[in-house]
């Protein structure tokens, strides 16, 4: 189940993948949301920083931490492709504005780095994931062996302290008296025959 923030971010990503509407400024900003509209509205690059930051970071976190195979019907590979298209759209928009904005450039560079990393990780990531899987399996095996050895040592020490468990009175109480059971069975048989 996805949260509302992830749905907003996914809708923003879909809108950024529609180059024509974004480049033609046919949208409205409502906090972190990009909403398609027919009216042309011009926003400053500073106004766009937060919605773009929110969109990419929310979805990158989802892709990187989710075990679900699909998100709104898209696989992780399809989402990565959508990241690439949206990133290219933002770059094209920035070039068309002919404005110099160091903060916006820093945001674009940060997004490019993160999209590059997560793409490399999920498309070619066995080199990243395999050592972690092996390490976890080996750690689990070691913990299992340590716990097993503790059990064996505890039993060995108990046997050394009380060989044959002759000093244990609790075991004598647990063993039922067989002679009493034989007498009870004989009484039941006598009652049935009478």
Q: What is the pLDDT of residues 79-126, one digit of tens each?
A: 889 999 999 999 888 888 877 888 989 999 999 999 998 888 777 766
Q: Are residues 53 and 137 in the same domain?
A: no
Q: Are residues 116 and 178 in the same domain?
A: no
Boundary-marking domain end, from 85, 103, 124: 124
The count of structural domains within the chain is 2
3-class secondary structure per residue, 97-161: HCCCCHHHHHHHHHHHHHHHHHHHHHHCCHHHHHHHHHHHHHHHHHHHHHHHHHHHHHHHHHHHH
- pLDDT tens for 40-67 read 777 888 888 899 999 999 988 877 777 6
Boundary-marking domain end, from 124, 151, 173: 124
User: Domain of 149?
Assistant: 132-193
Q: Are residues 54 and 143 in the same domain?
A: no
Q: Is 0.85 topped by the overall pTM?
A: no
- pLDDT tens for 70-86 read 788 888 788 889 999 99
Q: Are residues 155 and 88 in the same domain?
A: no
């Amino acid at each position: 189940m996805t949260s509302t923030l992830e749905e907003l971010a996914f809708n923003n990503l879909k809108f950024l993948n529609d180059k024509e509407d974004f480049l033609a400024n046919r949208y409205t900003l409502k906090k972190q949301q990009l909403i398609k509209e027919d009216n042309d509205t011009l926003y400053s690059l500073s106004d766009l920083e937060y919605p773009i930051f929110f969109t990419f970071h929310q979805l990158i976190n989802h892709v990187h931490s989710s075990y679900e195979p699909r998100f709104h019907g898209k696989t992780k590979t399809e989402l990565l492709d959508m990241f690439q298209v949206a990133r290219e759209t933002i770059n094209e928009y920035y070039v068309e504005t002919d404005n110099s904005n160091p903060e916006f450039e820093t945001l674009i560079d940060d997004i490019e780095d993160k999209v590059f990393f997560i793409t490399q990780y999920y498309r070619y990531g066995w080199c990243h994931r395999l050592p972690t899987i092996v390490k976890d399996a080996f750690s689990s095996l070691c913990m299992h062996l340590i716990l097993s050895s503790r059990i064996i040592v505890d039993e060995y020490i108990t046997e050394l302290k009380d060989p044959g468990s002759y000093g244990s009175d609790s075991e004598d109480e647990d063993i039922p008296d067989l002679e009493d059971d034989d007498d009870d069975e004989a009484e039941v048989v006598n009652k049935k025959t009478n």
